[in-house]
Structure 1
């Protein structure tokens, strides 16, 4: 894939413009955007940037982080605290994401989305209230491994890090997760699956492959 340099500001504007012009593929009244990438790629920052740009364009936005939908510690740590296979396939509650985030945004859905479910620090339910996303609103979901679950994303962005950059930018205490991202590359191929690929090895100088 041929990539060209771009600034985060220009990327944000391009993604916001694409979202405003886009339509849900399944006839839903809401647009669902996913920002996929390892925590080291800082997908939450891009999601929040795009969200603000969309609000300036008059759209209602809800930014949701996958880290708010982790499973309880008893399940996450069933095979130890540093098991990369569990991190890849059992850490996040994808069923809850389907039920509480994507289900309400299907065609004919209620639009009532739960912004988070479980706090990984306190290991307790967050008890956050539901948020009603108005018709024509935009969901921005960010987190790792988003492209391997058939989520109904109308626009998907993958923040790509080379193995060296991923290792360099991941805290030492979290490097046990690195094999999970290698497995994700092998099994899902996120750079081929995403609508937009952004190389983020150098956080100051991103590059992208344009809008597909």
Structure 2
């Protein structure tokens, strides 16, 4: 890991409060558009927090997709459907975020996924007990929507141009590399709705330029 990347991760980790200070688990969101490098960054941030003595729980909003029939109820090309119907936010809050924020001193019982998008079924993950000292590091898109924004203790936004993210996703997923290609319209325009409605860049606690994931740069907040 280049020193500059480790230094950035350490700076972001230093922003995360200790669970003892909150008397409950800490909730950290790593937000950004598709292809911004959220999962890789969140994994590395979790490692940096572990090195600082935190008990880290990793999860992704992708474990909370709705069934396909609900995700595509507005049509398979609908940007509105991608933005508003992709995730079961009620379940996301009920089985993961809200138990962690509960005001009691004992262990919390959570599930880190309720749907596997590949099988379109519940993966059957058991409830697990997590201690009060846990730090949840969660990656995903749309994490600063109104329904979620006040639940996070720290929000990190990864800033990456669409031209870069779609080039990455062309390699990862096989989608066209041109952001303006018609096949990408559902996803790019859905994310544009989120950017316009919630200004996640402006409201994030920390903003990191992740255009080059080997050499990220802190733009604000750490």
Query: The TM-score by the shorter chain falls in which range?
Result: 0.7 to 0.9
Query: 1:130 is matched with which residue?
Result: 127
1: CA distance between counterparts of 2:11 and 2:128?
27
CA contact (8 A) 1:28 1:107 kept: no
Within-5 A mapping of 1:19-98? 19-21=16-18, 27-98=22-93
What is the aligned length?
A: 205
CA contact (8 A) 1:158 1:196 kept: yes
Query: 2:180 is matched with which residue?
Result: none
Partner deviation per Cα, 1:92-138 (whole Å, 9 max, x = no partner): 11111110111111242552111111000000101101222211110
Q: CA deviation at 1:22?
A: 7.1
CA contact (8 A) 2:8 2:217 kept: no
Gaps of 5+ in 2: 177-182
Of residues 197-206 and 44-53 in structure 1, the stretch that sits farther from structure 2 once superposed is: 197-206
Verify: 1:118 aligned to 2:115, yes or no: yes
Of residues 54-63 and 186-195 in structure 1, the stretch that sits farther from structure 2 once superposed is: 54-63
2: CA distance between counterparts of 1:146 and 1:153?
9
Partner deviation per Cα, 1:48-94 (whole Å, 9 max, x = no partner): 11112222222211111011100001101222323221111110111
2: CA distance between counterparts of 1:163 and 1:57?
33
TM-score, with normalisation over the residues of structure 1?
0.87
CA contact (8 A) 1:23 1:31 kept: no
Query: 1:13 is matched with which residue?
Result: 10
2: CA distance between counterparts of 1:21 and 1:62?
14
SS at 1:45 equivalent: helix
Change (3 A) 1:55 1:101: same
Query: 2:164 is matched with which residue?
Result: 165
Query: 2:213 is matched with which residue?
Result: 203
Verify: 1:175 aligned to 2:184, yes or no: yes
TM-score, with normalisation over the residues of structure 2?
0.83
CA contact (8 A) 2:13 2:45 kept: yes
CA contact (8 A) 2:19 2:135 kept: no
Alignment counterpart, residue 108 of structure 1, candidates 74, 79, 103: 103
SS at 1:157 equivalent: strand
Query: 1:192 is matched with which residue?
Result: 202
Alignment counterpart, residue 142 of structure 1, candidates 120, 139, 148: 139
